[in-house]
């Protein structure tokens, strides 16, 4: 009986250290990010922002970054694919704001690694986008039509500076015609209280529609133009809408 107890105790002493030692003692990688959230504060709409998230491998085996998935096309990322023990890696990101809208924004990047406990890490970029003149839903228009058929699209132009008025519009290409129409302010509704793009697209007091047309007599081919929205503010006299039209 005593021999059996001693044998069991010896077996426990052999295996107990393996249970108590941390994961890194078994050759595991350990990923530690310096920070997982970057708050950019106020950012001018249309700017491209380059930033980076740094991390280190505190384990004793190499760590691999198997995937980096930005939330949307406005954030492009590249990264250090493998980091040795004690070394540092970087996740590079570029946030393109031209297709976003004003207000507080949050974009995420999902990082997958081979490190136990950090197989999926969420990085976040926060910003408050501002603009003197905002074009919604985005400052680009794509038109496609056939010879002899006119085609029209419109976007919403909005001033964000006190006292600024949107006074006129012109096209740099005579094959593309433009005009302004006052936008009737929305009376509210369910979408207005939810924020985001749905709320931003609801016309407000002072907004105007920018009406862009490829006329029926436009020549076949590709027509490009800058549509210039003119303002009453000498410090911010205009905003630009890029137009690409195909007549084919």
Q: How many CB atoms lie within 10 A of CB 131?
A: 20
Q: What is the pLDDT of residue 18?
A: 36
Q: What is the pLDDT of residue 1?
A: 45
Tens digits of per-residue pLDDT, 19-44?
333 344 455 899 999 999 999 999 99
* Helix (H) / strand (E) containing 67: strand 63-70
Average of per-residue pLDDT values in the chain: 87
Whose CA is closest to 203, among 187, 185, 190, 188?
185
Q: Please list the residues that pair with 212 across neighbouring strands.
A: 153, 178
The position carrying tokens 């794509």 is 142
Domain boundaries, the chain: 23-130, 133-247
Q: Please answer whether residues 102 and 131 qualify as being in contact, where contact means their C-beta atoms are separated by less than 8 angstroms.
A: yes
Domain formed by 133-247, architecture: Sandwich (2.60)
- Regarding the domain delimited by 23-130, which CATH topology (the fold level of the hierarchy) does it fall under? Immunoglobulin-like (2.60.40)
Q: Please answer whether residues 40 and 126 qualify as being in contact, where contact means their C-beta atoms are separated by less than 8 angstroms.
A: yes
Tens digits of per-residue pLDDT, 131-148?
999 999 999 999 999 999
- Nearest-10 Cα torsion for 230, 231, 237, 241: -40
DSSP code for 248 = -
Tens digits of per-residue pLDDT, 189-198?
444 445 566 7
Q: Is the pLDDT of residue 11 over 60?
A: no
Q: pTM of the predicted model, to two decimals? A: 0.69
């Amino acid at each position: 009986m005593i021999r059996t107890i001693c044998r069991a105790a010896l077996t426990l002493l052999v295996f107990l250290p393996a249970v108590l030692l941390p994961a890194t003692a078994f050759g595991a990688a350990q990923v530690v990010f310096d920070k997982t959230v970057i708050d950019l504060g106020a950012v001018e709409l249309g700017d491209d922002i380059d930033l980076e998230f740094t991390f280190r491998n505190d384990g004793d085996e190499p760590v691999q970054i198997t995937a980096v998935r930005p939330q949307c096309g406005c954030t492009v990322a590249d990264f250090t694919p493998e980091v040795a023990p004690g070394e540092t890696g970087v996740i590079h990101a570029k946030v393109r704001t031209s297709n976003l809208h004003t207000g507080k924004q949050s974009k995420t990047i999902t990082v997958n690694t081979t490190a136990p406990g950090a197989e999926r890490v969420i990085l976040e970029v926060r910003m408050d986008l501002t603009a003197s003149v905002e074009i919604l839903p985005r400052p680009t228009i794509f038109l496609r039509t056939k010879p002899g058929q006119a085609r029209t699209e419109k976007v919403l132009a909005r001033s964000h500076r006190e006292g600024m008025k949107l006074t006129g519009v012109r096209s740099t290409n005579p094959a593309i015609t433009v005009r302004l129409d006052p936008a009737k302010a929305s009376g509210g509704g369910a979408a207005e209280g939810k924020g985001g793009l749905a709320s931003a697209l609801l016309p407000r007091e002072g907004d105007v529609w920018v009406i862009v047309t490829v006329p029926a007599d436009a020549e076949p081919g590709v027509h490009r133009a800058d549509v210039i929205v003119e303002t009453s503010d000498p410090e911010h006299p205009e905003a630009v809408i890029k137009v690409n039209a195909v007549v084919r």
